[in-house]
Amino acid sequence: MTLTRPTIYSLILTLFLVSAPHAEHLPLWVSALAATLLLWRGYLAYRAAPLPSRWLLMPLTIACVAAIGINFHSLFGREVGVTLLVLLAALKLLEVRSARDAMAVIYLACFLIITNFFYSQSIPTAALMCGTLLVIVATWLRIQAPPIAFQPQLRLASVMLLQAAPLMLIAFVLFPRIQGPLWGMPQDAYSSSGLSERMEPGSLSKLTLSEAVAFRVTYASVVPRREQMYWRGPVLWNFDGRVWTTGASGFNSPAQFSDAAQPVEYSVTLEPHNKKWLYALDMPSLLPPNALMNDDFQVFSKDSIVARTRYTIRSNLSYHANLDELQSQRQRGLQLPAQLNPRARQLAATWRTRNTDDAAIVTTALRYFNQEKFSYTLEPPLLGRDGIDEFLFSTRQGFCEHYAAAFVYLMRAANIPARVVTGYQGGEYNTIGNYYIVRQSDAHAWAEVWLAGSGWVRVDPTAAIAPERVQKNLSAALLDNSALAFMARNPPQWLLNLRMNLDAVSNQWNQWLIGYNSEKQYALLTRLGMTEVSWESMARQLMLGLSIVIAALALWLMRHLWVRERDPVQAAWLKFCKRMARAGVPRATHETALDYVSRISSHYPHQRAQLFAIAEQYNALRYGEEHAELRAFQHAVRTFKL
Amino acid sequence: MTHSLKNVIAQTEQIIVGKPLQIRLALACLLARGHLLIEDLPGVGKTTLAHVLAKTLGLQFQRIQFTSDLLPADILGVSVYQRDTADFKFHAGPIFAQMILADEVNRATPKAQSALLEAMEEQQVTIEGVTRALPMPFFVIATQNPAHQIGTYPLPESQLDRFLMRIELGYPDAVAERGLLAGIDRRELVKNLTPQLDTAELFSLQQQVAKIFVAPALLDYVQAILKHTRESASYVHGLSPRAGLALLAAARAWALLDGRKSVLPEDVQAVLGSVANHRLQSTQVRGETPNVGAQLLAAVAIP
């Protein structure tokens, strides 16, 4: 069967629809080349021109593969695989001549649909892919069925997909979810946006421009005040004059929290960030299973978070942390790079001479930030070699990382153990879903100092300059917020409501569709009354469910086979037709009685009169007004023999 | 079938040779009180058929040649000022006749077309605020050229629906054509025709048609056909309930022509093509427009 021009066009459309979302992450030359190949095929179809010869396609294909190899330095992995698929599918279209070739393109398109979910599993992506699937099925029908216009074909395709929906639902619920890497996404499936183990001037302010969700929090009962919502991330010890890094913090000494009070329990749904740590409020007291706390009170999971993860955790908002801190840790909190920032050291030294009490020095420092003309901005001026000095004495404009860094530097110079803590602060309350959303724009950095008798105490120098940052949000704290993402500024209320609604929907989507893992499956199936949930029983139920649905559909389609004819005239007539069919002359469904008997009598001319009599009687009984003799008709049918 | 109907058919077949089926369809259309649309190339005898039918049925006949500059007043008539009586006198247009031949109806502008089509639907016309009834019976035979010919305004689907049937004449076969070429001029023959029916007889025949019995089983069949057109992917839209009524009326008339008192599936099948062809738009994109009627007939089982 040769392919018509509209079929080729719809194949091109299909490939375009499945490949276009990939343009976002494919190298530009690949997107351009794929588009060119599709256009070329379209042009050839339009011109009804012959397809390029194998001697042109073969080197082209080899060149494409080689170029991909050079571009990615590899021929394996997700990116390379997707790139290869996109290009080879477009190339395949250039040698599509028969319906069989077209089917190969259809299968490739189906596979490419799946690859789109490697990059995004959001609702819009799913909706787009459903639409694309519809076009694929319609194109498929166009290849297989007689040529009709695209619109009724789309209608037919939607009906088919709807009929398949119950099967899909059963398979989704019952297909055994096996824990392990086999079912997970590729390791590089998620770009790692979020906090990292290092902090330098500008790294946090850049992060706060992103509106991406970091995690969502549901509090069990007590909701802490906003200024208590410090979500602990990496703790930074080492400073080289510009960059803060974590250094070597281990899992050696267990944390000692005394006078712990104000417990809060909450569960966090963490977006994948490719790092191992989990976020918790200061200070975590009951960890989720498979989680550990390091010496800096940071919580770690066993594996990298490469899929959306939900965990329940408990924290105490009031505490004394490590009153007896190890000498070595206290020493770590005093290290400073030599020779840099002399003026800051000098300032700290004057504070030290005036006060002997560590806590008084902390207060002095905070007062210093508060009373001197410091300002809080997303776009601070660049800093040079003695960055802390420049910041403290000349530019005096900075974001939270500047304040945290300068504060910790001053403390260390004044001989008080101190460290930088990064994480998130605050969050946005979603009234519809009754949960908090913490976004990348809530990223924050603060300080911790160790004071004898109090342990590690959180000090947020940003709160001394811009208290609104901690009490309300970032936008309130900035004088000029034009650099922020639009939604982080002060958008209209309806837009905020819309975003809340969308996020609530997307949260449900994540919980129930994307996050439908083995535990969820177990919970759901037990609630549905399955007593023994194992993969064998699930497989059995799956087969059973699928068979029931298919059997029900089949019965529905064959329903006319056992609907008994109640009309005696029609029953006798059908019996007659059946006998004639057995004799080798079956009635066509649209054949009228007289047409039928005249056809039979052309085979059996001797019975012509009897046959016509039967047909006449049938017509009179079934379509006539006067009531003809039913018995005579039944008798005629019964006694009739060929 | 009554004697006079037989005569009508016989006389028409003398002039329009080799087209018995089309003649019967045209007659059935008339008996079912419907209007007829004949679509074909110029010169295959569309006009002659209309002439012959009018003459044979003894109907008052008017012909309107549709052109691109035809105005509604040219069809309906116009009031003209009378100097002697000092008032307006209505001069009836050609529409006031029992049988109208609207020739090449798709050459006129939609405005002129709609004047005719409204008269067809309402059986009356309103001119300058005065409603005037049209004569009874009122029967329109419209002819149209195939849509691909130059200078045509195709009738919209809603207006096509007002024609009970659309038939095509087609070229005559070799024998018929030979007779046509060798015989006397058709126009002369038409002049000499005598009416075979009078108006009262025609009325009574039309009433008989309406009384032809339709069994529930046949209604099942008609409904199955309608259902199929609405559900099948082969047609852009399904048939309307009005089309269903039209199919039934035409089948009744066909049954009468066949001398039966009740409608059989055969009757439905005989008229199905001419009733459904112009009402169904095929979704098939390529090639020739398929014979929708035949396709439909084969697709629907008789219940």
| A148/B contact by beta carbon, under 8 A | yes
Rounded to whole angstroms, what are the CA distances from A554 to A544, A548, A551?
15, 10, 5
User: pLDDT band at residue A189, thresholds of 50, 70 and 90?
Assistant: very low
Domain around B15: 3-201
Residues of B in contact with A591 (CB under 8 A): 302
User: pLDDT band at residue B151, thresholds of 50, 70 and 90?
Assistant: low
CATH number of the domain within which B230 lies: 1.10.8.80
Residues 150-179, chain A: which have Cβ within 8 Å of B? 151-153, 155-156
For residue B233, give the chain A residue with the closest CA: A152
Q: Is the model more confident about B139 or about B1?
A: B139
Q: How far apart are the C-alpha atoms of B213 and A494, rounded to whole Å?
A: 66
Same domain, A445 and A526: no
Place of tokens 């049988």: B99
Read off the amino acid at residue B225. I
Same domain, A296 and A399: yes
Residues of B in contact with A590 (CB under 8 A): 269, 297-302
ipTM of predicted assembly, 2 dp: 0.84
Domain around A541: 518-559
Over residues A411-435, the mean pLDDT reads: 88
Same domain, B167 and B217: no
The predicted structure's pLDDT at residue A127: 92
Domain membership of residue B57 (yes or no) is yes
- What three-state secondary structure class fits B160? helix
For residue A292, the tally of other CB atoms under 10 A from its CB is 13
Token representation of residue A237: 């010890």
Domain membership of residue A495 (yes or no) is no
The predicted structure's pLDDT at residue A178: 63
Would you say residue A548 has pLDDT above 70?
Answer: yes
Distance from CA of A10 to the nearest CA of B (A): 15
Same domain, A346 and A367: yes
Signed CA dihedral, A560, A561, A563, A568: sign only: positive
- What three-state secondary structure class fits A262? strand
Domain membership of residue A507 (yes or no) is no
Over residues B155-181, the mean pLDDT reads: 85
| B290/A contact by beta carbon, under 8 A | no
Token representation of residue A213: 């969700």
Would you say residue A279 has pLDDT above 90?
Answer: yes
Same domain, B191 and B243: no
Provide the greatest CA pair distance for chain B.
69
| A354/B contact by beta carbon, under 8 A | no
CB of B160 closer than 8 Å to CB of B278 = yes
Mention every residue, 6+ apart, whose C-beta is less than 8 A from residue A79: A25, A72, A188
Over residues A7-31, the mean pLDDT reads: 91
| B133/A contact by beta carbon, under 8 A | no
List the single range of A284-288, B77-81, B265-269 with lowest mean pLDDT.
B77-81
Token representation of residue A427: 């969050």
For residue A155, give the chain B residue with the closest CA: B233
| B283/A contact by beta carbon, under 8 A | yes
Distance from CA of B248 to the nearest CA of A (A): 14
Would you say residue A23 has pLDDT above 80?
Answer: yes
| Inter-chain touch B213–A4, beta carbons under 8 Å | no
Residue among A1, A623, A627 with most chain B CBs within 10 A, to mutate? A623
- What three-state secondary structure class fits A358? helix
Burial of A304-336, coded b for 16+ CB within 10 Å and e otherwise, reads: ebbbbbbbebbbbbebbbbbebeeebeebbeeb
In sequence order, the β-bridge partners of residue B81 are: B88
pLDDT digits (tens, 9 = 90+) for A314-325: 999 888 888 888
pLDDT mean across residues, chain A: 84
| Inter-chain touch A623–B264, beta carbons under 8 Å | yes
The predicted structure's pLDDT at residue B286: 52
Mention every residue, 6+ apart, whose C-beta is less than 8 A from residue A578: none
Same domain, A413 and A293: yes
Distance from CA of A156 to the nearest CA of B (A): 8
Would you say residue B212 has pLDDT above 60?
Answer: yes
Distance from CA of A489 to the nearest CA of B (A): 51
The predicted structure's pLDDT at residue B150: 63
In sequence order, the β-bridge partners of residue A437 are: A216, A428
| B180/A contact by beta carbon, under 8 A | no
Residues of B in contact with A146 (CB under 8 A): 284
Same domain, A165 and A297: no
Distance from CA of B210 to the nearest CA of A (A): 14
Residues of B in contact with A6 (CB under 8 A): 285
Same domain, A390 and A533: no
List the single range of A149-153, A324-328, A591-595, B170-174 with lowest mean pLDDT.
A149-153
Same domain, B93 and B216: no
Q: How far apart are the C-alpha atoms of B20 and B23, rounded to whole Å?
A: 5
Residues of B in contact with A160 (CB under 8 A): none
Q: How far apart are the C-alpha atoms of A294 and A287, rounded to whole Å?
A: 12
Q: How far apart are the C-alpha atoms of A56 and B287, rounded to whole Å?
A: 34
Burial of B91 (0-12, 13-18, 19+ CB in 10 A): exposed
Residues 192-221, chain A: which have Cβ within 8 Å of B? none
Same domain, A266 and A319: yes
* Percent over 90 (pLDDT), chain A: 20
A118, A138, A173 - which closes a domain: A173
Straight-line distance from the first to the last Cα atom of chain B, in angstroms, rounded to the nearest whole number: 28
Distance from CA of B30 to the nearest CA of A (A): 24
Q: How far apart are the C-alpha atoms of A307 and A315, rounded to whole Å?
A: 24
Over residues A72-85, the mean pLDDT reads: 84
Residue among B208, B220, B286 with most chain A CBs within 10 A, to mutate? B286
Distance from CA of A5 to the nearest CA of B (A): 10
Please provide the DSSP assignment of A109-161 as one string: HHHHHHHHTTT--SHHHHHHHHHHHHHHHHHHHHHHS----HHHHHHHHHHHH
The predicted structure's pLDDT at residue A485: 61
Same domain, B122 and B252: no
Q: Is the model more confident about A477 or about A591?
A: A591
User: How do B130-133 and B124-127 pair as beta strands?
Assistant: antiparallel
User: pLDDT band at residue A516, thresholds of 50, 70 and 90?
Assistant: confident
Q: How far apart are the C-alpha atoms of A349 and A414, rounded to whole Å?
A: 6
Domain membership of residue B173 (yes or no) is yes
| Inter-chain touch B261–A625, beta carbons under 8 Å | yes
Domain membership of residue A184 (yes or no) is no
Read off the amino acid at residue A317. L
Please provide the DSSP assignment of A463-498 as one string: HHH-HHHHHS-HHHH-S--TTS-GGGS---HHHHHH
Same domain, A293 and A336: yes
Please provide the DSSP assignment of B26-88 as one string: HHHHHHTT--EEEE--TTSSHHHHHHHHHHHHT--EEEEE--TT--HHHHHEEEEEETTTTEE
Domain membership of residue A62 (yes or no) is yes
How many residue pairs bridge chain A and chain B with CB atoms within 8 Å of each other? Answer: 63
| B3/A contact by beta carbon, under 8 A | no
Backbone angles phi, psi at B102, to 5 degrees: -95, 100
Same domain, B233 and B286: yes
Would you say residue A62 has pLDDT above 60?
Answer: yes
Residue from the list A146, A153, A589 with its beta carbon closest to the beta carbon of B302:
A589
Mention every residue, 6+ apart, whose C-beta is less than 8 A from residue A349: A413, A414
Residues of A in contact with B208 (CB under 8 A): none
* Cα B16 from chain centroid (whole Å): 16
Same domain, B196 and B217: no
Q: How far apart are the C-alpha atoms of A62 and A45, rounded to whole Å?
A: 24
| Inter-chain touch B217–A152, beta carbons under 8 Å | no
| Inter-chain touch A624–B283, beta carbons under 8 Å | no
For residue B282, give the chain A residue with the closest CA: A148
Angle between the N-to-C axes of helices A400-413 and A342-354, in degrees from 0 to 180, rounded to the nearest 10: 60
Q: Is the model more confident about B192 or about A269?
A: A269
The predicted structure's pLDDT at residue B148: 64
For residue A635, the tally of other CB atoms under 10 A from its CB is 13
Same domain, B156 and B37: yes
Same domain, B222 and B195: no
The predicted structure's pLDDT at residue A146: 62
pLDDT mean across residues, chain B: 85
For residue A415, the tally of other CB atoms under 10 A from its CB is 13
pLDDT digits (tens, 9 = 90+) for A123-182: 888 999 999 999 999 888 888 766 566 777 888 889 889 988 999 999 888 888 765 444
Residue among B219, B256, B283, B292 with most chain A CBs within 10 A, to mutate? B283
How many domains is chain A built from? 4
In sequence order, the β-bridge partners of residue A219 are: A266
Domain membership of residue B28 (yes or no) is yes
Residues of B in contact with A153 (CB under 8 A): 233
Q: How far apart are the C-alpha atoms of A306 and A522, rounded to whole Å?
A: 22
Same domain, A306 and A323: yes
B172, B201, B230 - which closes a domain: B201
CB of A199 closer than 8 Å to CB of A445 = yes
For residue B218, give the chain A residue with the closest CA: A623
Residues of A in contact with B264 (CB under 8 A): 592-594, 619, 623
| Inter-chain touch B233–A623, beta carbons under 8 Å | no
Q: How far apart are the C-alpha atoms of B246 and B295, rounded to whole Å?
A: 19
Same domain, B133 and B170: yes
Place of tokens 């500059």: B69
Residues of B in contact with A594 (CB under 8 A): 264, 266
What number of helices (H) and strands (E) belong to chain A? 23, 19
Domain membership of residue A502 (yes or no) is no
How many domains is chain B built from? 2
Residue from the list A156, A593, A623 with its beta carbon closest to the beta carbon of B233:
A156
pLDDT digits (tens, 9 = 90+) for B125-148: 888 788 888 888 888 998 887 766
Q: How far apart are the C-alpha atoms of B39 and B37, rounded to whole Å?
A: 6
Domain membership of residue B207 (yes or no) is no
Residue from the list A151, A153, A590 with its beta carbon closest to the beta carbon of B300:
A590
CB of A264 closer than 8 Å to CB of A281 = yes
Over residues A489-515, the mean pLDDT reads: 78
CATH number of the domain within which B121 lies: 3.40.50.300
Q: How far apart are the C-alpha atoms of A11 and A136, rounded to whole Å?
A: 8
| B302/A contact by beta carbon, under 8 A | yes
